[in-house]
Every structure is written in C-alpha cells, then in structure tokens.
Structure 1
Amino acid sequence: MITSRRQPAEWAPHDSVWIGWPSAADLWEDNLGPARAEVDDFVRGILFPGGDGSDIRGEKVNLVYRGGEARSAAEIMRGRLPDPSLLTLFEAPLGDIWLRDTGPVFAKSETGELVASAFRFNGWGGKYQLPSDDEIADKIAGHANVRLRRFDDFIGEGGAMEVDGEGTLITTRQCLLNKNRNPNMNEKDVEAVLKSALGIEKTIWLNEGLIGDHTDGHVDNIARFVAPGKVMCMRPTGDDDPNAEIFSDIEKTLKSATDAQGRKLEVVMVPSPGRIEIDDAPVAASHMNFYIANHSVVVPVYGVLSGDSAPGIEAIETLKSVIDRQYFVAVDSSHILSGGGSFHCISQQQPRM
C-alpha cells in the first residue's frame, strides 16, 4: 500500500548523513588528495563542530566509497578522528561522490515511517553518465532498511529540489523542464511527481541557475530555505560577477512568492563568492551549498581560488543570524568545486525517526 510522504526540512533532526568519498583517480586526477582533505574537514565540521576537543558529537556519518585504494585512504582519515566509531565506511557502486543527486531522498510517511524516493538519473542531462550511478539509491536505501519508491518516469536530482518541510519546494525551469531531462512534461506534470515523491503542495519556480553549472541550474546553489517562511539567496560580488542578472531575477521571484502555508517569503541576501574561474571559465562557486547538520552548519568557501575571504565571512555571519545552530564552520571547497559541486552536493541527510 502506497501512503503519502513528505521530505523534512534539512534543519529537522538527523539520524545520520551519507557522504560521498572521492574514489575515482581517473576523474579527480591531481585534485584527488586535496578533495579528500576537504571532505575530511567537512566530516569533522559535522562530527566535531566545536573542534576535536569538544564534547559535542554530531550526527553519525556514513562515508560511501568504491574500491580498495579509496577504502584505505578513508580508513586513514577515520583513524585520525577523536572518535572513529562515529564514522561508518560503506562500499557501494559509486560512480562519483554526488549523492545529493544519485542517492535516495529520505522522507517520512503519514504514519511516521522513514521511507525514501528516487528519480531516474541520466548524468545531468547526459553530460556525465557513469557506471552504477543508477544503482546507488537502491543500495543506500537497502542498507538504511527503508522502503524505496522509484519514480523512473521522471528525471531529476536532489540538488534540484529545495524544501521547507511544510509542503513548499523551490526549483528551476532550466533543470526540471530541460529538454535533456523531461522534454514531454510541463510545470503541472512535474508538480504532480513532486507531490507524490516529496509531499509538495506548492512549487516556486525560478528560471535559471548559475553560469558554468553543468547541472543546468540546481537550486541548492542559488536559493535555500533557512527557516519556515525564510529563504536565502545571493547578491553579486564585484563588478564582474557573471551571475548578476540571474541573482536579480531570483531575488525578484522569491520576494513575490508565498509558501504552501500562504506566508509571504522573507528573503535574506548574502554575497556571492564573486567571479571564480577554472581554466579561464566561470564556475558555479556558491555559498548556498552549505549543509545544515544537527549541531552545525558547514559552509563552503573558496579561498584557494578567489583569494578573497570577505564574502565568505559575511555569508557565515548572516547565516548565524537566521539558522538555529551552535556552530558555523567554514571549509574551503575549491578542489571539490573542480568536480562541479560542493558539500551539499555530496551529502544526503537521513532524518531521525
């Protein structure tokens, strides 16, 4: 029997979080070691947000890897933790680390049971199709012992869907209505799937995402709920910010929107990282790709690439004023960005029962 389900907000309590561990040397090349170091810092920001000597212990981490070399590197990382028991290694057919998109989306049924939904994944519109990416959602759901419902007539990724836990979702037309994903669907068709899969009653449609984003406009790079009725987005940094017009359109749309409860959204603005390039092309660096853990918020910054820490510092100070967490941890994500994303992209929270 299929019952209704709803994805909780990210700030709701978690039992654990699933994180992808960089495993493919042929994909990461010279960035493999540095990207692993950044994931290590991300894990520590969740598990020990007050520092290694803190009594605070965050949600448990399930680190998903593939292959013997990746396991060895992960075991070394785990062995350096103050409490290694908080991190579990899980081998799975991992194409790459982007579990927000390839993994299951955990939800709760109307009876309070933990369940999961999964969509068909086609490598972000056929750009990067890797072996076994279509298996990982089933593997993780099985290991978590939750019922998985597949929506294989719909192509979508978790990073394209931002929820408030009360029936509201933000997404972009550039992604979910893209011809490379759902060419025969309109907004109402997509909304029907989102209602069945995640319990969505109101969808707020933005037009497009960041320039240089190979995901075709994932919303977790441009707009995030930070509390009921409250959403955060970015404003341009510098005269050469490539996304200035996009940010203006996002702000305008959100300020005119209401949520599923009928509330007019309160829009909180933070600076973007500015123009950041890799190989002379703009890339999708974003302060919106933060992860809200049980005791902390881990925020990506890009000091290695940008050379300017001021926008990141301001973004974190603003986050402190709107998210109810004790700790806010800045972690450089410059090398993970070389693969196309950041900390929210590589993680998927498992809600507490």
Structure 2
Amino acid sequence: MKKAIKFCLIATLSTTIISGCSFEGNNENVKGKEGEKVEVQKNAGKYTMPDEKDKHEGTWLQWPHEYTYGEEYKKEVEPIWVKMASALTEGEKVHIVAYDQEEKERINNLLTDEGLNMEKIDFFIAPTDDVWARDSGPIFVYDSNKNLKILDPAFNGWGKKTPYKNDAQIRKNVSKQSGIERVDWGKFVLEGGAIELDSNGTALLTRSAVTNKNRNPDLSEKEIEKYISDLGVSNFIWLDGVPNLDITDFHIDGFAKFHNKSTIVTMKEDDLAEWGLSNKDMDTLLDAKNASGQKYKYEYLPLSKEKVALENGKTLDYKGSYINYYIGNTVVLVPNYNDPNDKIVNDT
C-alpha cells in the first residue's frame, strides 16, 4: 500500500501522496470485459521503455531556482520539491538536477537541515529553465541487450512558448555525468507528457502536442510514428487534441493514462468535454483497442468540483485534472486543489 501526504504545487495545486493507487475491485467504474486476458505483444522495437509504475531505482527531480522566474517563484515552489524528495526517499533514490555547483550546495544544505536521508539523494549539475522533468528530463530505455540508455528527443519549450535552451541540453548533460549512453533522436520534438505507452505495443497521444508545426514542422505523422516504433509501438491511438488551449497544446497525460496493459484511467464524458475534448476525440479514446484488437477497460477520476483557486485569491478559468499523477515505489504523487473532490480521488 502507498501512503498519504499533502502538499501545495505552484500555489494552485497540491500534490498528495496517497495510499493504494490500485484500481482493482472498483468494478462498477470499469467498462470492458472482466477477466479478459490481454495478449502480450512481442517487443519488435529497438528499445524497451520500462513502465513508470514498475519498481524502479529512483526518481528524477529538476530543482526550482530563481534564474528563469525569479526569487519569489523559487521560494513559493521549493517547499513542494522538498516534500516530494522526502516522501520519495522512503522507497527509492532521488536524483536531483541542480542548476550549478552553488545551487547543488544550497540544496544539499537545505535537505540536510530538513532531515532527509541524504544517502538516498545524489546530484547532477545541469542548467535548467524549468522544473518539468517528465517533459525535458532523462527518458530511460533498454536496448535489445538490456543495456540502459537515455533516449533524447528534442525539446523546444512546448513549441517555443517558454525559455528552453538549457532544458534542451539536460539529457546530454546527464548522459555525460552518469556515463549512460544517449540515444539522439535528432530534431524530432517529443515531451514525455505528450505520449502514453501501455507497455504492450500501443501509444496514446494527441496531434496538437506532437504533429503540431510548432514542434515538428518537417515530419509527417507517419515519419513520427517511425521514430516511436523504435519503442516497440505498432498501434497508434491518435486524438486530435486542441492546439493553444494550454502551454502544452493538450498533452495526453492531462486527461488519460494507462493503468496497465488492459486499463486506461481517464475522466467521464462530461468532464472530458469540460477539459476540452471534442466528441470525435472522446469516441476515439473511449472506444480504444490495444495492439491485439481488444478493447480497453476504463477507470474514471473526476475533475475538481470547483475551478482552480490560487492562494492569492485569484480563480482560474478551468477545473483541475487529477490524471497527471506519478507512481513511486511506495508513494503516489497526485495533484490536489484544496477542493472537495481531492478526497474522492485520494481515496480511490
């Protein structure tokens, strides 16, 4: 069982470490045939990406600093990173990407003073623009000989919306410092949050965040699929998505994730519509089939009940998604919003 802790993310969300992120037994919430066995696909790709929820050696955090968004930003969000690091070290190592040597020493002193187990923490020096390690940080894969590699697609600040020159070099810097060979995907732009894999030959993604001309103007959809097929993907579930609706151009991980080879975690139709999905995309998502042609089962998490409220009293013009969670070895990091639906999701 995974345990529960709460904390506030960028003054709008809180991340909660919850107990038991297992969806087993909630049958009334499942669409699809119960007990149906899933045919396991033979991985025909060059590389295998481990499932995020599998037991793993460690989690990577890009540490917040003042050099992009200022000192107040750092002071606002850093306590969240301290709390995440503290919780994660209970079950795994935490690899921290620090902006420079001075920042490394500052963070080390901070975490030591906070009482963290520093034997579970190590540091890599790499200038960063932002904190979103799932999008710009190392992507680990195994080659056919089970050698660990760092997959390095290009990163351009979600279509050149934010500073990105430093973030575009993080994987290269980590590769040099760790000694783990880097697989260079050249100019193909792909953020980690723009693609979901079921570890069985299927990818779920949105065109607005992948084939968008602000990412890959010179690549066709088929050419993009050829890159991704290196990960053993033969079945592509493309949603159109919505360009410019948010900074990511509608990342898939904001509203749909694979729980396992047979189950997708998403929202019910009213919430998907509220999030911005078209009827066409809802039909595609909720009728999705795996690489063997079997329909997925579905689990549902709600949006927040109310629109997201900032700590400064300002209310944003959208409700919050709980889908973009992260499963550690002993904890689960889940967005929370000081909202009535937080408890519903945390108890799921």
Q: Does the CA contact (< 8 Å) of 2:241 and 2:277 recur in 1?
A: yes
Q: Does the CA contact (< 8 Å) of 2:264 and 2:296 recur in 1?
A: yes
Deviations 1:210-259 (A, max 9, x none): 98520111112111111121111124789xx9835528655432221111
Alignment correspondent of 1:265: 296
Question: Identity percentage over the alignment?
Answer: 28
* Whole-angstrom CA distance in 1 between matches of 2:119 and 2:319: 35
Q: Cα–Cα, structure 1 residues 90 and 244, in superposed 2: closer, same or farther, change >3 Å?
A: closer
- Identify which of 213, 216, 227 aligns with 2:246: 213
Q: Which 4+ runs in 1 deviate beyond 3 A?
A: 209-212, 235-238, 247-251, 277-285
* Whole-angstrom CA distance in 1 between matches of 2:289 and 2:302: 24
* Whole-angstrom CA distance in 2 between matches of 1:283 and 1:30: 24
Q: Does 1:243 align with 2:278?
A: no
Q: Does the CA contact (< 8 Å) of 1:8 and 1:164 recur in 2?
A: no
Q: Cα–Cα, structure 1 residues 204 and 180, in superposed 2: closer, same or farther, change >3 Å?
A: same
Q: Cα–Cα, structure 1 residues 110 and 162, in superposed 2: closer, same or farther, change >3 Å?
A: same
Once the two structures are superposed, the pairs formed by residues 173-252 of structure 1 within 5 Å of their partners are: 173-196=207-230, 198-208=231-241, 212-235=245-268, 243-246=274-277, 250-252=281-283
Q: Does the CA contact (< 8 Å) of 1:234 and 1:247 recur in 2?
A: no
- Identify which of 64, 84, 94 aligns with 1:61: 94
* Whole-angstrom CA distance in 2 between matches of 1:226 and 1:148: 28
**Which one-letter code corresponds to 2:99 in the other structure?**
R
Deviations 1:38-89 (A, max 9, x none): 11222223223xxxxxxxxx11001111142564144312442352211112
Q: Does the CA contact (< 8 Å) of 2:266 and 2:301 recur in 1?
A: yes
Alignment correspondent of 2:15: none
Q: Does 1:23 align with 2:65?
A: yes
List runs of 5+ in structure 1 lacking aligned partners.
Answer: 49-57, 319-353
Q: Cα–Cα, structure 1 residues 21 and 82, in superposed 2: closer, same or farther, change >3 Å?
A: closer
Alignment correspondent of 1:9: 51
**Which one-letter code corresponds to 2:83 in the other structure?**
D
Q: Does 1:137 align with 2:182?
A: no
Alignment correspondent of 1:36: 78
How many Å apart are 1:126 and its aligned residue? 1.1
Alignment correspondent of 1:322: none
Alignment correspondent of 1:166: 200
* Whole-angstrom CA distance in 2 between matches of 1:214 and 1:292: 24
* Whole-angstrom CA distance in 2 between matches of 1:176 and 1:85: 39
How many Å apart are 1:155 and its aligned residue? 1.4
List runs of 5+ in structure 2 lacking aligned partners.
Answer: 1-44
* Whole-angstrom CA distance in 1 between matches of 2:241 and 2:319: 12
Q: Cα–Cα, structure 1 residues 235 and 24, in superposed 2: closer, same or farther, change >3 Å?
A: farther
* Whole-angstrom CA distance in 2 between matches of 1:247 and 1:316: 28
Q: TM-score, normalised on structure 1?
A: 0.76
How many Å apart are 1:284 and its aligned residue? 7.8
Question: For 1:188, what is the secondary structure of its paired residue?
Answer: helix
Q: Does 1:118 align with 2:152?
A: yes
* Whole-angstrom CA distance in 2 between matches of 1:126 and 1:246: 24
**Which one-letter code corresponds to 2:174 in the other structure?**
I
**Which one-letter code corresponds to 1:16 in the other structure?**
G
Q: Cα–Cα, structure 1 residues 153 and 73, in superposed 2: closer, same or farther, change >3 Å?
A: closer
* Whole-angstrom CA distance in 2 between matches of 1:28 and 1:286: 27
Larger of the two Rg values belongs to structure: 2
Aligned residues: 299
How many Å apart are 1:270 and its aligned residue? 0.7
Q: Cα–Cα, structure 1 residues 286 and 148, in superposed 2: closer, same or farther, change >3 Å?
A: same
Alignment correspondent of 2:33: none
**Which one-letter code corresponds to 2:235 in the other structure?**
K
Q: Does the CA contact (< 8 Å) of 1:24 and 1:96 recur in 2?
A: no
**Which one-letter code corresponds to 2:324 in the other structure?**
N
Question: For 1:107, what is the secondary structure of its paired residue?
Answer: strand
Once the two structures are superposed, the pairs formed by residues 278-297 of structure 1 within 5 Å of their partners are: 281-282=316-317, 285-297=320-332
Once the two structures are superposed, the pairs formed by residues 306-317 of structure 1 within 5 Å of their partners are: 308=339, 310-317=340-347
Q: TM-score, normalised on structure 2?
A: 0.77
Q: Does the CA contact (< 8 Å) of 1:93 and 1:132 recur in 2?
A: yes
Question: For 1:311, what is the secondary structure of its paired residue?
Answer: helix
Q: Cα–Cα, structure 1 residues 244 and 124, in superposed 2: closer, same or farther, change >3 Å?
A: closer
* Whole-angstrom CA distance in 1 between matches of 2:216 and 2:244: 21
Q: Cα–Cα, structure 1 residues 164 and 260, in superposed 2: closer, same or farther, change >3 Å?
A: same
How many Å apart are 1:142 and its aligned residue? 2.8
**Which one-letter code corresponds to 2:129 in the other structure?**
G
**Which one-letter code corresponds to 1:121 in the other structure?**
F
Q: Does the CA contact (< 8 Å) of 2:136 and 2:170 recur in 1?
A: yes
* Whole-angstrom CA distance in 2 between matches of 1:236 and 1:312: 19
Q: Cα–Cα, structure 1 residues 298 and 109, in superposed 2: closer, same or farther, change >3 Å?
A: same
Question: For 1:43, what is the secondary structure of its paired residue?
Answer: helix
Question: For 1:39, what is the secondary structure of its paired residue?
Answer: helix
Deviations 1:267-315 (A, max 9, x none): 1111112522666653684211211111221111122xxxx2x212222
Alignment correspondent of 1:153: 187
Question: For 2:173, what is the secondary structure of its paired residue?
Answer: helix
**Which one-letter code corresponds to 2:307 in the other structure?**
R
Alignment correspondent of 1:349: none
